[in-house]
Structure 1
């Protein structure tokens, strides 16, 4: 049967597990794809096969396999046995791709569609591409010239293909239009929605598990340079005397591959501001624990200099928590309730707004606000599921670029 003739429940969708401990955004994107598809009736969603799982934590893979429409590629079952089988699989995959002059993995040989694909794969018609953002254009100082050129060549090739291309926001679409004149791809904007109360339940009580103070501000971002912890730390320094009880809790990886010594510079900045005792650094915590920390926070702070579609914002929306947001176009597009916006380049403005919000806030959870948030976000997530199904149907109709 031709792909264009298949109904959605007859389609096999390969989902490579992008992301990992050093890029939790990719991992969360995969979660939200499956959560959106799970809202659909069985007859209106594809069968999903997880691929490229060798770098993923077993707990992450097992969590995604809990959905009854998701399975694991047999080769991945073999490859996960031990380190030796991982090596054998990688070697065989490389040899087959070289022999057949293919750019995509042998794991995809029986798949109808593959999504999300983040690297250009010439010669395949089933790839549904995803470009999260165009950060290298707007923050070039965070990338080497080689990496900027590599990302630009990859994105240019994807955009010039005839495949389906998924973007995460209207803001990203406007960036694409402004910087890439040769557009042939079939572009769709798909905004994911998070419902962490149901999807990451069972987290530990954060005051007991991590010894957190009764009231705190939570920054959930990993310590990448564009996440802009600097402005948050400088604002905290300005509030050292005016709000002496205000403290931050930070989670996320401290590894920044693009900027050498970035985390060490942030630690030095805290010492310079005299605030090292008012910032609690927890590192990477389980997703369920992260959600509980967010539920109990008085405020969420998202100071990022660039985002594609912020999971932090979607989580805060779903939990009914107040959030201070950098005034990026994408954050304004997300438009969460209980948001206060600030210039991410201005620690003085952030300090003023943070002080005001802190004095007016109370620690969570807020059962009433959370219940209302769940009602709204359930509808948003169902809508996201329907929109994603339509994108997959479109990709099947056109052979994903054939």
Structure 2
């Protein structure tokens, strides 16, 4: 019988701009439900708004509470800290959560630095700044470099979602002294079977067969390769439909607009459908009924799209990345993400043939996720 549960603070806020990050924390709490009751930690949702707790409550996790993420500093304290950061590179006056509230705080690494006194585990999904800094901008890339160095060369705790990301970190920071964990995340999908495909298809003007590519509209997600593959096929009189979903306002919307302009000029409006950011259940219904899922990304830390597809036992067309090979080895066809001709060949082949997938149980992935995270928070 548990008398005292480990209190784990999770810094969480829901963001359509980085929906993969939001889903990560929701899926983490779902995974923790798989643990035996005496192993389940008490999860404290740390956020600026208590609405974040309401989102997490939908998981049905039994041990939840909330605390605000902002500490209050008076005018004098703010002035002292501003001066001390200039002189000493840190705040002299440091506040913390009330005693006994949180044993360890977990969250996306960029957002954790201001919690200076708490024990923290920093989540680094990937090192995109090292591979594709042009998609981030010079200021963001420089900021991430400084933050990674601050973690690498101090007695910090860092959690990676893949061995690929950890190996990246070790390559760029070979003399790092931080403690590192690799915890590959898994997903829990909301119930969507009660939502008829016909209803969703009619709403969005989708007809079968179609391929599905659900990704946020960041440049490194590489939608252009998919569109060019569709264009190649159309020139060969092979009509293919690809449905894209995701927040088209990401990064100000310029990238999504470029994609749509290309589609319009190429006369592919009937082949490339942009649905925008849609309801999660509607997205899953479209995923379930697609011919196959296309994930063309140039870079990933651990793809939520891949995990969703694995959970559904859907066939995947994946960019040939090390991390994608780490995630899945069956029910998949890999292609070079810079070769639309190669992708066109794969799409045409799957379009004209029956796709059969090898059944795989997904449940063990959830328990592995939960136990990996539990090991990290207990390892101090």
Q: What do residues 100-137 of structure 1 show as CA deviations (whole Å, max 9, x unaligned)? A: 84678758982111112412347424111111100011
Match of 1:115 in 2: 106
Match of 2:37 in 1: 42
State the alpha-carbon separation in 1 of the partners of residues 226 and 136 from structure 2: 22
Deviation, 1:72, is 2.7
State the alpha-carbon separation in 2 of the partners of residues 104 and 378 from structure 1: 41
State the alpha-carbon separation in 1 of the partners of residues 243 and 142 from structure 2: 36
Q: What do residues 320-345 of structure 1 show as CA deviations (whole Å, max 9, x unaligned)? A: 11110000110011124210000001
Residue number among 390, 393, 400 corresponding to 2:378 in the alignment: 393
Please, which moves more after superposition, 226-235 or 119-128?
119-128
Tell whether 2:266 aligns with 1:237: no
State the alpha-carbon separation in 1 of the partners of residues 97 and 43 from structure 2: 16
Please, which moves more after superposition, 208-217 or 315-324?
208-217
Match of 1:23 in 2: 18
In structure 2, relative to structure 1, the CA distance for the partners of 1:284 and 1:57 (3 Å cut) is farther
Q: For residue 20 of structure 2, give the secondary structure of its aligned residue in structure 1.
A: helix
Residue number among 180, 188, 194 corresponding to 1:187 in the alignment: 180
CA contact (8 A) 1:19 1:25 kept: no
Match of 2:266 in 1: 273
CA contact (8 A) 1:129 1:165 kept: yes
Q: For residue 283 of structure 1, give the secondary structure of its aligned residue in structure 2.
A: coil
State the alpha-carbon separation in 2 of the partners of residues 251 and 33 from structure 1: 23
TM-score between the two structures when normalised by the length of structure 2: 0.86
Match of 1:172 in 2: 165
Please, which moves more after superposition, 334-343 or 104-113?
104-113
Match of 1:10 in 2: 5
Q: What do residues 44-71 of structure 1 show as CA deviations (whole Å, max 9, x unaligned)? A: 021001121539778734424x321223
Tell whether 2:156 aligns with 1:163: yes
Taking the TM superposition and a 5 Å limit, the aligned residue runs for 1:299-310 are 299-310=292-303
Q: For residue 141 of structure 2, give the secondary structure of its aligned residue in structure 1.
A: helix
In structure 2, relative to structure 1, the CA distance for the partners of 1:225 and 1:55 (3 Å cut) is farther
Taking the TM superposition and a 5 Å limit, the aligned residue runs for 1:3-402 are 10-18=5-13, 20-52=15-47, 54=49, 60-64=55-59, 66-73=60-67, 75=68, 93=72, 95=74, 98=78, 101=91, 106=97, 110-119=101-110, 120-121=113-114, 123-196=116-189, 203=195, 205=197, 206-242=200-236, 244-257=238-251, 261-361=254-354, 372-373=359-360, 376-394=361-379, 398=380
Bigger proportion of residues as helix: 1
Match of 1:86 in 2: none
Please, which moves more after superposition, 187-196 or 95-104?
95-104
State the alpha-carbon separation in 1 of the partners of residues 147 and 34 from structure 2: 33
CA contact (8 A) 1:305 1:326 kept: yes
In structure 2, relative to structure 1, the CA distance for the partners of 1:340 and 1:115 (3 Å cut) is same
Deviation, 1:175, is 0.7
Q: For residue 243 of structure 2, give the secondary structure of its aligned residue in structure 1.
A: strand
Deviation, 1:279, is 1.5
State the alpha-carbon separation in 1 of the partners of residues 195 and 100 from structure 2: 38
Residue correspondences, number: 363
Match of 2:87 in 1: none
Q: What do residues 174-231 of structure 1 show as CA deviations (whole Å, max 9, x unaligned)? A: 1111111331111010001123265x66555332443320221000101110100010
In structure 2, relative to structure 1, the CA distance for the partners of 1:8 and 1:104 (3 Å cut) is farther
